[in-house]
């Protein structure tokens, strides 16, 4: 099958990572995969100078990306602009990955493939034009959603159940793993550091400061794409690594008694599975796939935007005896490892066949 993904830009965002994994796995199964993206939209001079002042350097039009080592064919446009027919090869399916790309894909000729909208979040929450983003949910495209709540949302917005495929994310256990262990000698929690408001680092940091009053030796481990920002200062007892190598991330997860994902909203929440695969229980809000993943006993759910509730969960983990913590760690690992990326690719592949079959029922899968 000839498959084209269309991205607004290729970066180190979690959604791009998921696209990269599917592109790699589909390529390995013999499909002809192309990934088309734009360079990052140009920043204003003020934003560029702010990046330098933060120690992040002059921003590049082509920043590091999870797609950098993909075996799929890559096409990067000359500038940020809508993708048009001339930019894409003929294909069996063409997949939008963001609301703007859904608008672009909707305008492509039929020879560019059956049209699919890959939903990884409710993009109306972040779009520069929420009304336009909402309208893309009504476009005549087969939808692939990474979490049950997105399937339900698509139905609420008028999509027929037959036009939606659920393809939950998985975790690469060759990359994220750890041997069985006990609690850390010093109570330690971890978090991803991000200035994005929906990630709720502000809430997490307030909760940690509350917990420090009862656990004065509490340690924080954190990593992120950007340098620390003065508006989100990390506590003095923090180990922070900016853009760690992928092989280092599992060590950071495995160095913690709990990993915190206190997001205000999530599409899926891939760090939950990554931490669990490293046998680290997760304290999460009921955002994205959090409720489904935590339900098996591998962590705790806390209220959104409630630093006191989060602080209490940190304190409960720190107070656990060794046997109870190991049981929670084992449950986390079991949840993360029962469903693989091969399973996810099976579902993704089947969804593409469903999308294509309306116009080409005789499609034969490449293997």
Q: Residue 103 belongs to a domain with what CATH number? A: 3.40.50.2000
Q: Is residue 177 part of a domain?
A: no
d(CA 175, CA 266): 23
pLDDT at 367: 33
Q: Is residue 176 part of a domain?
A: no
**Do 88 and 196 reside in the same domain of the chain?**
no
Q: Is residue 367 part of a domain?
A: no
pLDDT at 225: 86
Structure tokens at 265: 């909203």
**Do 128 and 32 reside in the same domain of the chain?**
yes
Residues 229, 201: contact at Cβ < 8 Å?
Answer: no
Q: Is residue 253 part of a domain?
A: yes
What digits encode the pLDDT tens for the residues 211-264? Answer: 999 999 999 999 998 888 888 999 998 999 999 998 899 999 999 999 999 999
pLDDT at 226: 85
Q: Is residue 182 part of a domain?
A: no
Cα–Cα distances (Å) from 367 to 25, 29, 94, 144, in that order, read: 11, 5, 19, 22
Residue 33 domain boundaries: 2-170+340-357
Structure tokens at 11: 């970066």
Q: Assess whether pLDDT exceeds 70 at residue 78.
A: yes
Structure tokens at 36: 């088309």
Q: Is residue 145 part of a domain?
A: yes
**Do 135 and 203 reside in the same domain of the chain?**
no
**Do 87 and 196 reside in the same domain of the chain?**
no
Q: If we measure between CA atoms, which residue out of 114, 130, 241, 257 comes closest to residue 181?
A: 257
**Do 222 and 119 reside in the same domain of the chain?**
no
pLDDT grade for 363, boundaries at 50, 70 and 90: very low
Cα–Cα distances (Å) from 247 to 174, 178, 207, 309, in that order, read: 10, 12, 29, 32
Which stretch of 25-34, 44-53, 313-322, 325-334 has the lowest confidence by average pLDDT?
44-53
Task: Please return the burial class of 139, using the count of CB atoms within 10 Å of its CB with bins 0-12, 13-18 and 19+.
Answer: middle
What digits encode the pLDDT tens for the residues 151-161? Answer: 999 999 999 98
Residues 270, 147: contact at Cβ < 8 Å?
Answer: no
What's this model's pTM, rounded to 2 decimal places? 0.84
> What's the number of domains the chain is made of?
2
pLDDT at 210: 98
Q: Assess whether pLDDT exceeds 60 at residue 56.
A: no
Q: Please, what is the average pLDDT of the chain? A: 91
């Amino acid at each position: 099958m000839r498959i084209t993904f269309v991205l607004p830009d290729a970066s180190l965002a979690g959604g791009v990572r998921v696209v990269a994994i599917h592109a790699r796995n589909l390529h390995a199964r013999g499909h002809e995969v192309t990934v088309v993206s734009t360079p990052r939209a140009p920043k204003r001079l003020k934003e560029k100078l702010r990046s330098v002042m933060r120690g992040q350097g002059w921003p590049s039009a082509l920043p590091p990306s999870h797609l950098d080592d993909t075996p799929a064919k890559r096409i990067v446009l000359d500038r940020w602009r809508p993708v048009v027919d001339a930019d894409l090869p003929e294909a069996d399916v063409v997949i939008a990955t963001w609301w703007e790309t859904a608008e672009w894909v909707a305008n492509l000729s039929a020879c560019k493939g059956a049209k699919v909208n890959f939903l990884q979040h409710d993009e109306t929450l972040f779009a520069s034009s929420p009304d336009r983003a909402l309208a893309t949910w009504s476009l005549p495209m087969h939808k692939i959603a990474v979490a049950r709540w997105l399937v339900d949302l698509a139905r609420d917005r008028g999509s027929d159940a037959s036009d939606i495929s659920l393809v939950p994310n998985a975790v690469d256990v060759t990359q994220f793993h750890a041997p069985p262990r006990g609690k850390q000698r010093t109570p330690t929690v971890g978090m991803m550091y991000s200035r994005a408001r929906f990630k709720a680092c502000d809430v997490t940091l307030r909760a940690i400061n509350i917990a420090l009053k009862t656990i004065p030796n509490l340690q924080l481990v954190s990593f992120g794409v950007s340098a620390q920002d003065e508006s989100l200062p990390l506590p003095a007892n923090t180990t922070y690594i900016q853009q760690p190598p992928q092989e280092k991330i599992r060590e950071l997860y495995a160095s913690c008694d709990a990993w915190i994902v206190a997001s205000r909203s999530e599409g899926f929440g891939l760090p939950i599975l990554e931490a669990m695969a490293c046998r680290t229980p997760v304290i999460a809000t009921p955002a994205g796939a959090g409720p489904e993943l935590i339900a098996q006993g591998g962590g705790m759910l806390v209220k959104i935007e409630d630093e006191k509730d989060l602080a209490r969960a940190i304190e409960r983990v720190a107070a656990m005896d060794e046997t109870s913590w190991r049981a929670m760690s084992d449950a986390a690992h079991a949840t993360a490892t029962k469903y693989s990326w091969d399973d996810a690719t099976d579902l993704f592949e089947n969804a593409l066949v469903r999308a294509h079959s309306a116009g080409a029922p005789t499609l034969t899968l490449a293997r």
